[in-house]
Structures are given as structure tokens and as C-alpha cells.
Structure 1
Amino acid sequence: MRGNGFEAFLRQSAPALLRLGNALTLDRTAAEDLAQETLIRVGLAWSRVRRDGNPVGYAQRTMVNLFLNERRRRRPIPVAEVPDRPAEDAALASVADIAAVRHLLAGLPPQQRAAIALRYLADQPDDQIATALGCSAGTVRSYLSRGLATLRERMTAEG
């Protein structure tokens, strides 16, 4: 793979893929695993991906597919109580905000979460999101609309 652009692609795209993975999985370790698996698959298909001319789109679609397939296989186990946290200080305030966002996103179905992540993190238009999710642009707009409505409703209910 050396010398054919994969290393440059890797350096340029890995941070954005990790951010997308974080938004999808809501867990740093799982996001790192998802990004790694995505980059492995892109690397294995690099000669074809490079010829197609859209390696970022291919990587994003691969990541979303890996995420959705994993979600179908394994369901999260809910816990009755959130563990105690230390007293809040200024540094922990942002951690609490991040935790609140993760909590809100965790309540969305995987397709809605993926659509929101691709729109607001990867700044993709409906047709590219549709390609990544394997659905129509109308379905993407529906996922976005329903997902945002659910987030607004929960944010209002939780204050």
C-alpha cells in the first residue's frame, strides 16, 4: 500500500472517521475499534477504492454498515442506575454536557443516529447519506426529521 496514496488518506481521514465513530457508537473505545476496522477494510480494497475516486465516501459507508451490522447482532444491556459521580467542577461540566448528548443520542435508533452524525459531523447532503445508509434521500430526510424531533422532545422533557 505504500506510495499509492493510502497513507495520505489515512493521515487526512482518520480523525474525521474517529469523530463519526464516536457519534455512532457513543463510546470512545468502540469508536476506535470501529474506525480501525473501517480503515482495515478500506486498505484491503484500496486499489478499487482509489479508482472509484471517493475514498472518504467509501470509508464512511463502510463505517456506517459496520456499525449497523454490529447493532443488529448485539443489543445494549440497560442498567438500573448510573454510577455515582464525583462533585462537579468546571472541568467536569463539559464532561457532563458530553454525557448528556451521548445519553440523548443513545435513545435514537441506529439509522437515525447515523443520519444525524453524517449530516452534522460529516456535513453530507441527503444523497450521500442515502448512499451510505443504503436507502432513498426521502428516507434520510425522514430519519433526520424524526431523530431531531425526538432529540428536541427529550431535551425539553429533561430540561
Structure 2
Amino acid sequence: MAVVALAVVGVSLAAPAVLPADCHAQTRRSVPPTARYVSGNGQAFILDTSGSRALMRFERSTEVWVLRPTPAPRGDIIYRNDNGDQVLKVTPDGGVTLYTTAAPQGSPVSRVGDAQGLASATLTGAQLVDYFMRQSYRASQAMGRLI
């Protein structure tokens, strides 16, 4: 009987499992939905967790990364890119660490202000054709032949 009582107490004290959807909601509580950050080495980026997926864009870049949150020890959230590489770590109290090839051990990050969301912009048909033409020209210039 004592063994059963200990088993029941042990199960009731076990922490609940954290699902990825839960960790994204937890991150929203610990960091602003959309903000601009700067790392210790001066690298600036925008993190947007206002939507169903976390989005990140480095300043001076047009590429927007879709990040996948995964739970980590102590309630931390690890954000990974599409390759599975660790990009950001967010602690429950809002601390953020950026992981890059220049700082593989991580660089502390400070929030420096609000930012506009990174939601996908809508393009008209003419704007889309113009974009494709510019990208085709860039590829042709890089390859030395018509692309």
C-alpha cells in the first residue's frame, strides 16, 4: 500500500509535458510579440512571434526565417531554423540568446525597441512580374548567361 501511495504522489508531482504549441504561447508571454533586438556583437534582427509561426529577419537582409519552437530545460524555448540549427533561445523571464556561425556558443541579446510585424506582404501581379524579372537579371549576371 505504501508503494502505491508513493507511486501516486510521484505521478502527481511530475511536471506536465510541454508541447510545441504551448511553448510558442509561453514565449509570447515572455517577449513582446514583435520587437527589434541587437546582439552583443552588434548584429540586429527583428523577431515576430505575433502569428502562428515565429518569424525572424536580420537587418540588411531581405530573407525572413520561419522558426520552429522546441521546449528546453528550465522552461527555455529553443527556436530552430528549417535545417534544425539552433538560432535563438528565449528564457521564461524574457532573456534572449542568438546563435550564429560567428558566435556558436551564443551571444546575449537586448531588446532595443518595437518593430513592424514580418507578415508576408501582398504583391500585385505587376509587382510579382517585376520581382521575377529583377531576380532573373541578377541570376543571369551571376552566371554569365541568360537565366
Whether the TM-score (by the shorter chain) exceeds 0.5 is no
Query: Greater relative contact order (Cα 8 A, min sep 6): structure 1 or 2?
Result: 1
User: Counting strand residues as a fraction of each chain, which structure ranks higher?
Assistant: 2
User: Counting helix residues as a fraction of each chain, which structure ranks higher?
Assistant: 1
